[in-house]
Amino acid sequence: MKTFAASLFAAVASAELMTQLDYDFMRYVSEHGKQYATVEEFKVRQWAFALVDEYIQSNNSNPNSTHVAGHNFLSDMLPAEKDKMLGLKNMPKPDEVSLEEDEVDISNLPTSWDWRTQGKVTAVKDQGQCGSCWAFSSIEAIESAWMIAGHSQVIMSEQELVDCSSSTGNEGCNGGWYFWSYDWLKTHKTMKEADYPYTAKDGECQYNASEGVTNVSDYGRTAGTNKNLLQLQQQPLNVAVAAGNSVFMNYSSGIITAGSGCPTQIGHVLVDVH
């Protein structure tokens, strides 16, 4: 695949038509190692980048903004491409998990906690153009729980869930829920990523019980209060968020508040580790 960034940069520069946006986009292409197959694709990606850049400038110049926005690898992606990564979008919600009010002794818990400093969080992964965030959230929480239980780090397979857990309700790259991942893993062990690598696309189930690592014995749901969220010290938690918006996708630092214009439509899931 050929990149047209360098040649277009030289051509535009020689014509002395470079704008600040041109420079910013060229720098973005270089920093993120972007490659485009045609001049037409280059122009489309630059257009997408320009829209994001306009939002970033508007947000960061707003004296009432409580967070800072910035560019990232998503900045040249089209809205439809970003939507594909929202694995909870339009998914039917699972049945309510019937639990008694959480009984957690918080008398000796610290006011803050970060599992990353404890060495119990695996490296950030890339789900690619597949609505499989639910599988990543499930597996990464299990990887942490496995280490917290005293085992050595094992990188486990999201693709197993993408390909194999449809019987519990999941729909592969078209979306799913971490609840349904855990239902599958009650009767099927997690496989290692090395044995069942991630492809970022739907495939035939290749589950092999002999290569399984661990099951899920049970799961529950916190009520979401500050008191109950202190359960985070027990292990990382799955958190569903409204991520299909510029506020979330271009977040850089600070605190996102209701006044940030963040919508309420849940569309993405991640793991809370601190």
**pLDDT higher than 90, residue 56:** yes
The structure's pTM equals: 0.80
pLDDT above 60 (res 9): no
Angle at 28 between CA 27 and CA 29, to 5 degrees: 90
Selecting from 3.30.2450.30, 3.60.10.10, 3.30.1240.10, 3.90.70.10, what CATH number does the domain 79-274 have? 3.90.70.10
- Residue % of the chain over a pLDDT of 70: 82
Helix (H) or strand (E) run with residue 201 in it: none
Q: What is the predicted pLDDT for the residue at 184?
A: 95
Indicate the domain borders of the chain: 1-77, 79-274
Strand runs labelled E in the chain = 67-69, 237-241, 251-254, 268-272
Please give the structure tokens belonging to residue 122.
């695996």
Provide the 8-state DSSP code for 129: S
Residue 251 dihedral angles phi and psi, to the nearest 5°: -65, 135
Cβ atoms of 143 and 100 closer than 8 Å: no
Of 162 and 262, which is predicted with more confidence? 162
- Who has greater pLDDT, 44 or 113? 44
- Give the model's pLDDT for residue 98: 52
- Mean pLDDT value across residues 156-185: 94
Residue 230: pLDDT over 90: no
Q: How far apart are CA 91 and CA 150, in angstroms?
A: 35
Q: Indicate if the alpha-carbon torsion angle 244, 245, 250, 255 is positive or negative.
A: negative
Most confident of 62-66, 98-102, 161-165: 161-165
Give the chain's radius of gyration (CA, Å). 21
Q: What is the DSSP letter of 261?
A: T
pLDDT tens digits, one per residue of 244-273: 788 888 888 888 876 666 667 777 777 776
Smallest Cα–Cα separation from 211: which of 154, 162, 163, 145?
Answer: 154
The residues that bridge with 149 in the sheet, in sequence order, are none
Query: In the numeric block, which tokens belong to residue 236?
Result: 């990382």
If you average pLDDT over residues 107-128, what whole number do you get?
83
| pLDDT top residue among 83 and 104 | 83
Cα separation of 156 and 175, whole Å? 19
CATH number given to 1-77 = 1.10.287
Looking up tokens 């197993």 gives 160
* Bridge partners, residue 241, by sequence: 268
Mean of the pLDDT values across residues 226-244?
75
* Residues in Cβ contact with 10 at an 8 Å cutoff, skipping those fewer than 6 apart: none
8 Å CB contact between 135 and 158:
yes
- What pLDDT shows up at residue 105? 64
- Band (pLDDT 50/70/90 cuts) for residue 14 is very low
* Token code pair at residue 84: 């594909």
